[in-house]
Amino acid sequence: MWEAIEQNRRRSWVLIGAMGLTLLMLGYLIGAALFADFGADRPSIGRTTGFPQAQGDGIRYFTWLDEPSRLLNGGGLIGMGIALCVFIISVSVAFLAGARLLLRIAGARETDKVGAPQLWNVVEEMTIASGLPRMPRVFIVDDNAPNAFAVGMKPDVAAVAVTQGLLRKLNRDELQGVIAHEVAHINNYDVRFMTLASVLLGSIVMISEVFLRSLWFGVGSRSSSSRSGGQAKLLLLVVAIVFAIVAPIMARLLFFACSRRREYLADACAAQYTRYPPGLASALRKIGGISSEKSDVNKSLAPMYIVNPLQARALTTVFATHPPLEKRIAILNGMAGAGLMDYESAYKNVMGQQNQCLGAATLKNETRMKMRSPTPELEPKAGAVDRAREALDVLNRAAHFLILPCACGVRIKVPPRFKRDSIRCPRCGKANDVPKADAANDPAAPGEPKEDVFRRRGDGWESFKCACDRTIQLSPAFEADRVSCSHCGRHIRIEG
């Protein structure tokens, strides 16, 4: 498997290198067109052919290549330097805060084992199966469309984000397949390469847009005093305009080619991690049937999802960020087992025997892996109701809502910044006290932090407010006698 990852990585570096050269060439041509007069007064050296032109006391000879070379020498380097600076700044931001920015763009909220026990357990399982050095952080997105993505520049500093709709629509086997796919992207360093490719693509698009828009304001339209200089500048301007239009298209094609190959490899790894390929196939079918209808996702984040929500379900053009969904599903359903050899065989059956995904070097020491049985689940209707309720609870807990059960059966959601001591039920009108931790009656020993006390009312899910107003959740499995507030660090003793 390592050979396939290395081969994919080498291809990605070649593609990223091509995008980098495109960026530098774009900056060079734009700089030559906008700053063409830079250094234009320097004398020509060694030109002895061409047409004569009187200059001062003697005769100076010009060639058609003389003025263009003088125009390119200074302006092109300036443009290349500006493009390089833009790229360095963008890469620095991507490495230092890229994951946080993407999660913020998605509106993701971090959750933990208490807030999302099943999701946390699945991520933990796939972390062990994949051999990741550290479990990714887990986030949930308030979005009814099922989808998921991963971020992080290194496998030991990464995160997985899933939507509320994913938890609501998928059963455990399907959820496991999606998480395994995203963990594979982290383990294969796909997220890092896609982030770098996105930065390069964004830099190329930004520089092209700035240059093309600047033409409306006449930047770079000043003509040279010489006839040959004016013609050279006009030629450079035309070439720069054409390249500014073509470069983003070329960069997008390279970016999409880079991302499409990685999806097949991540699917193969997910089948191996879960040992149940039909789980991921079923998840992709559900996600594709719903997410393809959603169109308000940020364009910079859309290619990171397991199914691009901005890409039509059956799109097969070179501008697609993901492989055709039907082919991915057909390959997974065509696997006779759960190993890489089984995926390669199914890939060739679907894509053609002349095509290969993993290669002979990767499969050299691989053996067939038996597929496990599906996980038993509840009756479909009851399971769907339970998943919908649990998904909503996970989102509410991640958003620090306090869930207050009323005697009439209504579960009241109390927002995090609610300041009153009680809240009325919207159904029966009863005033319900907002659970809070009380100050302990017994004084703390010298040198020990003062503790508050919360008395449990039952053995199910309970939530209460700390003195700092942060909501603390207690799961049915909570058995400790103390809990610490993640916001202020206060220790709270649990009784009852």
Q: What is the DSSP string of 183-244?
A: HHHHHTTHHHHHHHHHHHHHHHHHHHHHHHHHGGGTTT-PPPSSHHHHHHHHHHHHHHHHHH
The per-residue pLDDT of the chain, averaged, comes to 80
- The CA dihedral of 10, 16, 19, 25, to the nearest 10 degrees, is -90
Residues 6+ apart with CB under 8 A from 385: none
9, burial (CB in 10 Å: exposed 0-12, middle 13-18, buried 19+): middle
Q: How confident is residue 319, by pLDDT bands cut at 50, 70 and 90?
A: low
355/430 Cα distance (integer angstroms): 68
Pair 180, 129: CB distance under 8 Å:
yes
Q: Are 433 and 422 within 8 A, CB to CB? A: yes
63-77, 251-265, 406-420: the lowest-pLDDT one: 63-77
DSSP 8-state class, residue 182: H
Min mean pLDDT across 120-134, 165-179, 181-195, 248-262 is at: 248-262
Nearest Cα to 220, choosing from 202, 240, 201?
240
Residues 6+ apart with CB under 8 A from 393: 403, 461
Look at residue 249 in the predicted model and tell me its pLDDT. 80
Q: What is the pLDDT of residues 424-468, one digit of tens each?
A: 999 999 999 999 988 766 555 555 666 789 988 887 888 898 988
Sequence-distant (6+) residues with CB within 8 A of 441 are: none
Amino acid letter, 88: I
Query: Could you give the maximum distance between any two Cα atoms of the chain, in Å?
Result: 105
Confidence of residue 292 (pLDDT cuts 50, 70, 90): low
The per-residue DSSP string of 86-153 comes to: HHHHHHHHHHHHHHHHHHHHHTEEEE-TTT-HHHHHHHHHHHHHHT-SSPPEEEEE--SS--EEEEEE
How confident is the model over 240-256, as a mean pLDDT?
Answer: 77
For residue 103, pLDDT over 50 is answered with yes
| Structural domain boundaries in the chain | 2-42+62-99+194-256, 101-185+260-363, 401-495
Pairing of strands 491-495, 452-455: parallel
Q: What is the rounded average pLDDT of the residues 312-336?
A: 78
Which pLDDT value is given to residue 159? 95
Over 80: is that where the pLDDT of 480 sits? Answer: yes
Lowest mean pLDDT segment, chosen from 112-121, 130-139, 305-314: 305-314
For the domain made up of 101-185+260-363, the CATH class stated in words is alpha beta
268, 343 Cβ separation under 8 angstroms: yes
Give dist(CA 448, CA 490) in Å, integer. 12
- Predicted local distance difference test score (pLDDT) of residue 45: 41
Q: What is residue 380's predicted lDDT score, i.e. its pLDDT?
A: 73
Provide the token pair at 430.
């009863």
Query: Which positions are catalytic?
Result: 182
Predicted TM-score of the model (pTM): 0.78
Q: Look at strands 58-62 and 51-55 and give their pairing.
A: antiparallel
What pLDDT, on the 0 to 100 scale, is given for residue 160? 96
Instruction: Give the pLDDT score at 124.
Output: 96
Summarize the confidence of residues 124-134 as an average pLDDT.
95
Once rounded to an integer, what is the mean pLDDT over residues 489-494? Answer: 88
Mean of the pLDDT values across residues 367-392?
A: 84
The sign of the CA dihedral 426, 431, 434, 435 is: negative
Question: Which has more pLDDT, 4 or 288?
Answer: 288
Confidence at 119, pLDDT banded by 50, 70, 90 = very high
Q: How many residues does the chain have?
A: 496
CA distance 289 to 145: 10
Tens-place pLDDT, residues 207-220:
888 888 877 765 54
Rounded mean pLDDT of 468-494?
A: 86
> What average pLDDT score do residues 346-358 get?
90
Distance CA 250, CA 245 (A): 9
CA dist 297 and 466 (Å) reads 35
Mean pLDDT of 473-495: 86
Residue of 298 and 69 predicted with greater confidence: 298
pLDDT on residue 88: 84
